[in-house]
């Protein structure tokens, strides 16, 4: 992969940040040594709504009282270098069948998973499905029905920057802790350790810390709009920027995880770069918008559709620019300003086997290219 580019899929590979993104998972609790993060649709999956949806905003006190019974503590044991290592994360009840939602990085490679409910009762859990590309996992407990208080999923696509939200979880192992803040930004790309990044991620200034991993991010109607998953930090602790996987992604991924134990992601198969002002000037473009294809992966959906990558390099002021590739301007009629727009559309609206129509600029003319999406190779 070209170091200046990113692979397009549900999640993309990118060197987009020099800061440390830290997962919100404590292992072990007393060490407070968070790990580096290791962390994609037909929006028609039915999500169980077993608690009422509220048409008006609630107070933080009301939100906590209604949500706390559905938030759980996730304790795990792992074998690392012949030693048993304990860790603590968070999760929430998804349905009355005992399914619990948490982060993939919380339970991955766990030898044992224990779910503890509000009243202190604990149950061993079975890992049902893990999807590392979106950092979502489902586990199941055979708990007393009276302990299962499913939380309602809201629609993260309705969120607005500045909107108030709340987070509940187990920061630093402190069970049932609540913090509040606002939505700081939407549609972020969160780097992962799989050569891809998670698109459409929610950014918040609510104080979330190691141990919050897998816990719910709630709107002021008490609906889950995200799963707290990472923070941007140089110390491993909260510094004002947290990230959550949107509920739209949860609604798409979780039913398939429960049914099949895995989720297969669609893939395009290109790398490239966003059009910035310098590149727009070199290419004599009016506006610095769009995504230029640098490399097309052999035998990928993009290759089969005839997309063209860059064929030469131009050096300007000591900086090399790959040029000559197709420039993607729109996807299914929606404007592409940068790669994020492609990835968000791919995650929200597309699945394997779907057709996606790209408007591209090639040799000074705009044309359409249709791509049939295939499964991402190697399951990554």
Q: Known catalytic residues?
A: 105, 135, 213
- Joined together, the tokens standing for residue 17 give 């940040």
Partnered with residue 23 across adjacent β-strands are 230
- Joined together, the tokens standing for residue 168 give 């509940």
- Contact criterion met (CB below 8 Å) for 156 and 246: yes
Report which of 162, 209, 180 is spatially closest to residue 59, judged by C-alpha positions.
Answer: 180
- 224-232 and 21-23 as β-strands: parallel, antiparallel, unpaired? antiparallel
- Contact criterion met (CB below 8 Å) for 111 and 83: no
Long-range contacts of 233-238 (CB under 8 A, 24+ apart): 233/19, 233/20, 233/21, 233/22, 234/19, 234/20, 236/20, 236/22, 236/32, 236/33, 236/34, 236/210, 237/32, 237/34, 237/209, 237/210, 238/207, 238/208, 238/209
- 266-267 and 374-375 as β-strands: parallel, antiparallel, unpaired? antiparallel
Report which of 361, 221, 373 is spatially closest to residue 291, judged by C-alpha positions.
Answer: 361
Q: How far is CA 23 from CA 26, 65, 95, 106, 208, in A?
A: 9, 27, 25, 9, 10
Phi, psi dihedrals of residue 220, rounded to the nearest 5°: -80, 5
- d(C-alpha 252, C-alpha 255), whole Å: 7
Q: Where are the beta strands (DSSP E) in 132-250?
A: 136-140, 164-169, 177-191, 197-204, 216-219, 224-232, 242-246
The secondary element (H helix, E strand) that includes residue 105 is helix 104-107
- How many other CB atoms are there within 10 angstroms of residue 287's CB atom? 10
Q: Is the peptide bond prior to 28 cis by the omega test (within 30 degrees of 0)?
A: yes
Hey, CA dihedral for 77, 79, 82, 85, is it positive or negative? negative
């Amino acid at each position: 992969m070209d170091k200046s580019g990113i692979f397009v899929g549900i999640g993309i590979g990118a060197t987009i940040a020099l800061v440390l993104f830290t997962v919100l998972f404590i292992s072990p609790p007393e060490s407070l040594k968070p790990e580096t993060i290791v962390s994609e649709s037909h929006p028609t999956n039915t999500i169980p709504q077993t608690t009422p949806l509220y048409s008006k905003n609630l107070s933080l006190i009301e939100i906590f009282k209604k949500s706390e019974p559905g938030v759980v503590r996730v304790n795990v044991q792992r074998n690392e270098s012949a030693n048993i290592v304990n860790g603590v994360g968070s999760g929430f009840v998804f349905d009355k069948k005992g399914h619990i939602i948490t982060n993939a990085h919380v339970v991955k490679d766990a030898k044992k998973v224990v779910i503890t409910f509000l009243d202190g009762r604990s149950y061993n859990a079975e890992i049902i499905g893990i999807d590392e590309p979106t950092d979502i996992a489902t586990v199941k407990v055979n708990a007393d029905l009276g302990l299962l208080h499913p939380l309602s999923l809201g629609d993260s696509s309705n969120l607005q920057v500045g909107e108030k939200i709340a987070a509940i979880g187990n920061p630093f192992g402190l069970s049932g802790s609540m913090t509040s803040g606002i939505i700081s930004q939407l549609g972020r790309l969160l780097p992962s350790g799989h050569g891809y990044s998670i698109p459409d991620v929610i950014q918040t200034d609510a104080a979330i810390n190691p141990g919050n991993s897998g816990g719910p991010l709630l709107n002021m109607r008490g609906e889950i709009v995200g799963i707290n998953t990472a923070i941007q930090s140089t110390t491993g602790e909260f510094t004002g920027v947290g990230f959550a996987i949107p509920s739209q992604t949860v609604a798409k991924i979780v039913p398939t995880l429960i049914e099949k134990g895995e989720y297969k992601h669609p893939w395009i198969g290109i790398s490239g770069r966003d059009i910035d002002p310098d590149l727009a000037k070199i290419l004599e473009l009016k506006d610095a918008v769009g995504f230029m294809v640098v490399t097309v992966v052999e035998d990928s959906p993009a290759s089969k559709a005839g997309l063209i990558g860059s064929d030469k390099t131009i050096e300007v002021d000591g900086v090399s620019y790959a040029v000559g590739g197709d420039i993607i301007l729109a996807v299914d009629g929606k404007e592409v300003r940068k790669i994020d727009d492609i990835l968000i559309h791919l995650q929200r609206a597309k699945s394997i086997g779907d057709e996606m129509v790209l408007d591209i600029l090639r040799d000074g003319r705009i044309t359409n290219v249709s791509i049939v999406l295939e499964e991402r190779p190697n399951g990554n």
